[in-house]
Amino acid sequence: MEGSEELRETLVAMRREIDLLRVEATHANLLLNALDSVLCVDGDADPFAGVFSALLPVFEYSHAIVLIENDHAQGTLECAAASRDSLVGSIWKAGRTFSKVLAGRIITTLSSADSEEWPDGIDVGLSQSQPALYLPLRVRNRRGLLMLLRDCDSSGFDRTHVALARKFSLLASHAFAATRANQTEAESHRLKQLTEQLKASQAELTFRANHDQLTGLPNRSHIQELVDAILMRKQPGQQLALAFIDLDNFKQVNDFYGHAAGDALLKRVADRVRAEIRKTDLIGRISGDEFVFILDPFREQAEVSALIARIRDRLQQPFEIDGARIRVSASIGVAFFPTHGSDYETLRRNADTAMYQAKTTSKGSIGFFNQTLGKEAAEKISLEHSLRTALRNRDFRYALQAKVDIRDQRIVGFEALARWVDAQGRVHPPGKFLALASELGLLDGITNIVLDALIDDLPRLDACFGTDVSYSINISAAQAAKIAFMEQFVQRIAGTGRAGSFTLELTEEAFVAAGPFQSRIFPLLREVGVGVSIDDFGTGYSSLSILADITADELKVDRSLITSIHQRPRSQSILRAIESLSAALSMYVVAEGIETVEERDFLLNATSITCGQGYLFHKPQFVDELIRSQTPTMPMPASGERFSSAHPSSRSPQSSALSF
């Protein structure tokens, strides 16, 4: 999945918003019920029983009391209704708190009513330390108030409650006015209007809570409800297919064309899929660039395959957006009910697994779930579990790989590379855990462990290599855009007083688009004096074009360009272009992944690159081993000898058997 970390954050935010909307919609509905009970009672009948029960789930109170100004005794209030019957008719004094409420204020307190206001001679049975909410209420043209009390040990009422109380206070007062026999036309008109408004906003809230605002499609929770309802009605032998669509390269579209174009694209994707499916089918958007659709009914699976292939082909046609021709593809995974699951969540997960597998094989393809995939998914879950435990136990270390001056092999710097050392002592490279750690939101923790350990080791490293060498740390593009994380990370480096010894390696994706990295973090790095390196240069989406927008200190040419460079004229031309651009922009060039003497010799003889990194010189090593292996420089191997990455045990002049 593309930019999974960013999408995950968006998803979490969307879920939070939807949950809030759902709560708001429910509250609006309950308030309407409360009003209904005011409006529906005849004559002098008590409307409060209905009001109390409708308000209970909204305000979660333990006691509700309605007090009305007493015409017979000035400065007192009479209890007109209460959730505890014995209080009805009791007389309360209008002290400071009550007077403010009668004058129209809503008040919340953590310890309940001013005891002076409480009725004499009656055991109210209430404690003085209950959180309370008071709201004004005009009942049949008399001033009054509603008092809601919670149990002593519960939390107080918050701002949302106050906002709801305000709405209720206003509407209920109008409702009481309207039920009076001498109600005026204007009053009843106003009440009708208010009730209509509340009903409309409730309908709107319900729609918004169930639908994605961008595409208007059912959202994650609604599609789940719809599908589960369909599945409940299924008879034995009836099938259903659930397909999971994920757009390929959506993140790049967003980065390259901007978020407005990204949004427009999502709408158009939804339209195209909607145009292909049948009336009985369903489609929903469940997160950023992920959609599900339900094919129901169908007779043979071939029907499903044909329809899905048609949708996939339609999505491959270019989209014209704001004058740009944008091409995307979609990877689609399918799971069948009941074979692959009997509820929405299982079907969705299995279709997602099938999609992921299809995307890994080839973007824009279709995959059908099978039990082998289920096994792989189970392995992923187990890895997820191990990774979370590993982070809790801080089972991550770092290895250092030297950057050398390729003319004399002098070490000029080191790159810190994360390693996971599992409970059995096995060392896993980042390829095994990085993507998943990032997807799970664990990468920041790992990066902090690497930095902490490196800072702890600095004195030993200084003693061995001097203080002139630099130390690079890799930061993913998603991390680079997280302001809070990066600020804390950079401050930690600055705290060493050696910011100039550190460099952050970022891939090109971190630099594209005017994101938070460019506007906030990059200037901070400059201010503090931490170096910036563009890692894996030449593998990204935009490569040369980003150099126009950003100045970095170092540019690391990706291994894919360096491998067999002496035999590849096209790569040589590209390297020359990179080299001259870097020179013009005063960037220091490092060649990554030098494995053979021929590659090194080409760089030495045909380019001006002097810095390199690769197995030919050093493999990554843990600090203890690195320091121990510091022996006087040995002669370089003769031409033709190669240190293969596939064989970690292969000889390298300065790496020990423990290197990896």
Which residues of the chain form contacts with ligand C2E (CB under 6 A)? 401, 417-418, 429-431, 434, 447, 450, 474-476, 505, 535-536, 559, 592-595, 613-615, 620, 645
613 contacts which partner out of Mg ion, ligand C2E, none, CB within 5 to 8 A by kind? ligand C2E
571 contacts which partner out of Mg ion, ligand C2E, none, CB within 5 to 8 A by kind? none
CB of residue 533 to ligand C2E, shortest distance in Å: 9
Q: Quick check: helix, strand or coil at residue 339?
A: coil
What residues between 188 and 207 interact with Mg ion by CB under 5 A? none
CB of residue 506 to ligand C2E, shortest distance in Å: 9
372-408 core/surface letters (b: 16 or more CB in 10 A; e: else)? ebbeebeeeeebeebbeebbeeebbbbbbbbbbebee
Interface with Mg ion (CB under 5 A), residue from 5, 246, 505, 509: 505
401 contacts which partner out of ligand C2E, Mg ion, none, CB within 5 to 8 A by kind? ligand C2E
Interface with Mg ion (CB under 5 A), residue from 246, 395, 536, 595: 536
d(CA 294, CA 243): 6
- Retrieve residue 487's tokens: 């600020």
623 contacts which partner out of Mg ion, ligand C2E, none, CB within 5 to 8 A by kind? none
CB of residue 619 to Mg ion, shortest distance in Å: 14
CB of residue 397 to ligand C2E, shortest distance in Å: 10
CB of residue 535 to ligand C2E, shortest distance in Å: 5
**Secondary structure tally for the chain: helices H, strands E:** 22, 22
579 contacts which partner out of Mg ion, ligand C2E, none, CB within 5 to 8 A by kind? none
By beta-carbon proximity to ligand C2E, the closer residue of 253 and 406 is: 406
Q: Quick check: helix, strand or coil at residue 551?
A: coil
By beta-carbon proximity to ligand C2E, the closer residue of 294 and 477 is: 477
CB of residue 352 to ligand C2E, shortest distance in Å: 25
- The phi, psi pair for 450, rounded to 5°, reads -60, -45
Q: Work out the angle at residue 190's Cα, subtended by the Cα atoms of residues 184 and 193, and round it to the nearest 5 degrees.
A: 140
Q: Which residue is nearest to ligand C2E (CB)?
A: 645
Q: Other C-beta atoms within 10 Å of 106: how many?
A: 19
434 contacts which partner out of ligand C2E, Mg ion, none, CB within 5 to 8 A by kind? ligand C2E
By beta-carbon proximity to ligand C2E, the closer residue of 429 and 637 is: 429
The answer to whether 253 touches 326, Cβ cutoff 8 Å, is: yes
Mask for 328-357, x = binds Mg ion (CB under 5 A): ------------------------------
450 contacts which partner out of Mg ion, ligand C2E, none, CB within 5 to 8 A by kind? ligand C2E
What residues between 586 and 615 interact with Mg ion by CB under 5 A? 592
The answer to whether 357 touches 367, Cβ cutoff 8 Å, is: yes
Interface with Mg ion (CB under 5 A), residue from 509, 535, 554, 598: 535
Indicate the DSSP class of residue 521.
I
The answer to whether 581 touches 552, Cβ cutoff 8 Å, is: no
d(CA 225, CA 243): 16
- Retrieve residue 350's tokens: 């299995």
Is 509 a binder of Mg ion (CB under 5 A)? no
By beta-carbon proximity to ligand C2E, the closer residue of 198 and 436 is: 436
Cα–Cα distances (Å) from 587 to 251, 554, 581, 584, 647, in that order, read: 28, 5, 8, 8, 33
- How big is the chain, counted in residues? 660
Q: Work out the angle at residue 361's Cα, subtended by the Cα atoms of residues 359 and 367, and round it to the nearest 5 degrees.
A: 60
593 contacts which partner out of Mg ion, ligand C2E, none, CB within 5 to 8 A by kind? ligand C2E
- Retrieve residue 571's tokens: 């790569």
Sign of CA dihedral 196, 198, 201, 206: negative
By beta-carbon proximity to ligand C2E, the closer residue of 543 and 645 is: 645
Q: Other C-beta atoms within 10 Å of 237: how many?
A: 6
Interface with Mg ion (CB under 5 A), residue from 447, 474, 571, 613: 474
CB of residue 418 to ligand C2E, shortest distance in Å: 3
CB of residue 431 to ligand C2E, shortest distance in Å: 5
CB of residue 355 to ligand C2E, shortest distance in Å: 25
476 contacts which partner out of ligand C2E, Mg ion, none, CB within 5 to 8 A by kind? ligand C2E
Q: What share of the chain is helix, strand, coil (3-state, %, to 5)?
A: 50, 20, 30
By beta-carbon proximity to Mg ion, the closer residue of 505 and 595 is: 505
Best CA proximity match to 150, nearest among 242, 244, 55: 55
CB of residue 471 to ligand C2E, shortest distance in Å: 12
What residues between 136 and 165 interact with Mg ion by CB under 5 A? none
By beta-carbon proximity to ligand C2E, the closer residue of 333 and 612 is: 612
CB of residue 652 to ligand C2E, shortest distance in Å: 9
CB of residue 315 to ligand C2E, shortest distance in Å: 31
d(CA 142, CA 70): 9
d(CA 145, CA 69): 9
By beta-carbon proximity to ligand C2E, the closer residue of 172 and 486 is: 486
β-pairing, 366-368 vs 396-405, is unpaired
The answer to whether 576 touches 606, Cβ cutoff 8 Å, is: no
Q: Work out the angle at residue 653's Cα, subtended by the Cα atoms of residues 557 and 641, and round it to the nearest 5 degrees.
A: 75
Q: Name the segment binding Mg ion (CB under 5 A); options: 117-125, 395-403, 431-439, 531-539.
A: 531-539
- Retrieve residue 57's tokens: 């789930």
251-271 core/surface letters (b: 16 or more CB in 10 A; e: else)? bbbbbbbeeebbebbbbbbbe
By beta-carbon proximity to ligand C2E, the closer residue of 78 and 599 is: 599
By beta-carbon proximity to ligand C2E, the closer residue of 146 and 446 is: 446
Q: Which positions lie near Mg ion, rule CB under 5 A?
A: 474, 505, 535-536, 592
